[in-house]
Structure 1
Amino acid sequence: MAQRRDRRLSPQQGKMLTRASKLGGPVDLGGVRLSDLEMVGLLQVLKTDLEKSYDQNGRLEKPSSSTGYFSMGLDAFTDPGAVRDVAEALLREDRSYLVTALVQACEEIPDFMSAFEALCEIHKRRLKFRRIVAEQRIPEIEDISPRAILEWGIVPGQELESFMRWRKWFYDIDNRAAQETGYMLTKVMSLVLGGQYHSAKTSPIRRMGYTGGTHRSVDCIAGRTAYDFKARMTDAPSRRARLEDELAFARDCFTSGFKPILLVLKEDDPELSQEMIEAYAMYDGESHFGDAAWRHIREVASPTMRRFADLYVRGPMEAVDGDHQLHPMTVDMNPERFGLIVSPPLTAEAPEPKRKQPRAPYEPPKRAKPQKIVMPRWEPKQTDKQKK
């Protein structure tokens, strides 16, 4: 599109706008593309949300658990309605209105470009996940029939096959939700902290013990700080299998000249985190959990991105978090339709939810501080022609 090359945008802003408009490959292969119409609507909503964040003295107000964006629904930016109609009218008057509005917003609100790219990332992931739910195939019984050994005769035979297939479908959807959430948080939190995600190809972090100069991917590098993001810690077997590699992250950052920092957004059982805490402390790093992680984010992020994180990341997480009752659920499903009805809580008393005990202040183990290994500064390799 012509407006992507508008000279009113700096080269960096032009690249950020291009990244914000697309996710993945072509649309017919699972990718997502945002039109100018959708992006103008997102820009207007974001600007309104951020402007409401400041009081008359310019101080940040207390964040609410919901914003205009989350209360609108995904179709508000494409279906006829107030948001779409306004955006359409603005683009009709000025075909390059997206750039015009973006330049103006960047002048009025510091770091608006980063906030806009982060909101576009959230919106694209939500659009993609809605399509995943709609297109996820129902598994065939042949794929899961051995599991009937556990339940045959316990669940009535006529119902067992359907129950197993729908249960597997829920499991597959939840796996995809976890995957998309991980990708989204990595991108968004990197923008919040003013850093950048690095794949193994571009990362300056070397893996120790590997020949050939192998590097490791990093969730975020900001200056000389390398971040590892986690929504929560778990003792699942899948995590235990990769624990050694996670513990090695702090060591690899240290030997490559970077400070490792672990951010876990949800408070967890200290016993699950002890090995990680000790590993990061050993290599001059930091580890923050729950409220401490959010305090670190607020200290590092700019005022605009701090507010963005409160509104668009922490707000939705806390809105569904707490000691809520588990309501009974009725599932109405067939291959063409899927629906859920969550009923009011039953009159019978539900078991008292377990409340987490507050984390005791962590004291790093007393041990000899490792000797620092001085590594040469990372530089891209030169070809033979470049050397000549």
Structure 2
Amino acid sequence: MGLTKAQLALITKARTASVSESGVPLDDGICAYLLAVIARDLELLDSLPEINTDIPSFFGSQSPISLRLDGVAFLPLFERLLAMRADVDTYFYCLAIVHKARLKYERILQTQATPTIDQVGPRGLLQYGTLSPKALAGFLFWRKWLFDIDNRAGQETGYVFEPIIAYAIGGVPYSAKKSPVKRGGVGQQGRQVDCIRDQRAYEIKVPVTIAASGQGRWSEELEFPNDCQASSYTPVLVVLDPTPNPKLHELSKAFIHAGGEVYIGKDAWDHLASQAGQTMARFLDTYVHNPLQTLLREAPLQLPKMTLEVGDNTMLITIGGEKLIIRRNPKLELAPNPDELPDDIDEDTPGL
């Protein structure tokens, strides 16, 4: 039957690396591995004898860069899977987004710049004298490096989380620049929207939080449903964490008052699954819902023991008796350079 131009364009976009120095493109071996994972997820491996059923887990302990399946033709396999199950193209695209983010973060861990004393030195005044100057400087370096990689994780997750949910339910994320939701429903000033599907404008959250300095941002959030209504869209609030708090109650009231819909906790997951359809509901369950629920369930009541060691090209983190080895590459060390939200994130992804 062959692939359509839209499907070929979708594959090209899925394989292309982000514009940052840490971005990693997906070659045929990586893409074939992702298709094998999809076939296993959808219980289609029996129809694909060329794929070994003992393929590594996507969320396994091995480095993401090692996950590949060489010797299997990618495009013919893509065509066969697509003929077996609708939405395999969207499944592949969303899984590719997640995998590229994991590959990119692996590279960030390998290359994130070691702090300089100019960056962290003044902070030492708050603890000067509690340790020797040498030990305190080392502690400041470690603390800043851990802060930097956590900050990068937050940024990268933001570029992945809402878009894959949007695509999974058949919608499109919009940046403020191109958003059809305008402030007050008029003018050129748009509002960033996590997902637009038909005439619904989604705000997707894990928990509802507000920083101490975020009162201005909070007012913006409360105005979002009114801007949607004024722009002829139904505002929809989806909150994945069911933990009640006053801000969640306040935001929910704002959405309901604007003629919107609110889905929280289990209702939120059920709503997303109903919009996604059987195949993409499996994706959301496997790659978003289950990992989040497992982490929440396993969160420790006390901080576990942790040790940090660094060698010439290796960093060893031991936590709760388990070891994480990071292969450092000092020659490629990059200064922090977070991505901007891509201008084309709101463009209709081909085939979706």
Residue 118 of structure 1 aligns to which amino acid in structure 2? C
Cα contact 1:261–1:287 (8 A) shared by 2: yes
Q: Secondary structure at the match of 1:339?
A: strand
Per-residue deviation at 1:112? 1.0
Residue in structure 2 matched with residue 297 of structure 1 by the alignment: 272
Q: Within 5 A, what are the aligned runs for 1:348-387?
A: none
Instruction: Give 2:308's match in structure 1, choosing from 317, 323, 331.
Output: 331
Residue in structure 2 matched with residue 174 of structure 1 by the alignment: 150
Q: Secondary structure at the match of 1:168?
A: helix
Residue in structure 2 matched with residue 40 of structure 1 by the alignment: 32
Q: Secondary structure at the match of 1:321?
A: helix
Q: Secondary structure at the match of 2:173?
A: strand
Per-residue deviation at 1:52? 7.0
Cα contact 1:190–1:197 (8 A) shared by 2: yes
Per-residue deviation at 1:334? 5.0
Cα contact 2:87–2:280 (8 A) shared by 1: yes
Residue 65 of structure 2 aligns to which amino acid in structure 1? D
* Percent identity between the two aligned chains: 33
Per-residue deviation at 1:248? 1.7
**Higher relative CO (CA 8 A, sep ≥ 6), structure 1 or 2?**
2
Deviations 1:99-134 (A, max 9, x none): 222122112112111111010000000000111111
Q: Secondary structure at the match of 1:340?
A: strand
Corresponding pairs, count: 309
Cα contact 2:210–2:218 (8 A) shared by 1: no
C-alpha distance in structure 1 between counterparts of 2:178 and 2:242, whole Å: 32
Residue in structure 2 matched with residue 375 of structure 1 by the alignment: none
Cα contact 2:183–2:190 (8 A) shared by 1: yes
Deviates more, 1:16-25 or 1:148-157: 148-157
Asked if 1:200 is matched to 2:176, the reply is: yes
Deviates more, 1:147-156 or 1:311-320: 147-156
Unaligned residue ranges in structure 1 (runs of 5+): 1-6, 54-66, 79-83, 92-97, 346-388
Deviations 1:180-229 (A, max 9, x none): 1111112210121111112234321111287x522222111111111112
C-alpha distance in structure 1 between counterparts of 2:225 and 2:131, whole Å: 48
Residue in structure 2 matched with residue 248 of structure 1 by the alignment: 223
CA root-mean-square deviation: 2.4
Residue 232 of structure 1 aligns to which amino acid in structure 2? P
Q: Secondary structure at the match of 2:42?
A: helix
Cα contact 1:266–1:289 (8 A) shared by 2: yes
Cα contact 2:172–2:197 (8 A) shared by 1: yes
Deviations 1:47-106 (A, max 9, x none): 1112279xxxxxxxxxxxxx932127313334xxxxx2xx32x33xxxxxx222212211
Distance change in 2, residues 1:149/1:168 (3 Å)? same
Cα contact 2:205–2:239 (8 A) shared by 1: yes
Q: Secondary structure at the match of 1:288?
A: strand
Unaligned residue ranges in structure 2 (runs of 5+): 46-55, 323-352
**Highest Rg: 1 or 2?**
1
C-alpha distance in structure 1 between counterparts of 2:2 and 2:176, whole Å: 34
Question: TM-score scaled to structure 2, two decimals?
Answer: 0.81
Distance change in 2, residues 1:335/1:282 (3 Å)? farther
Asked if 1:25 is matched to 2:25, the reply is: no
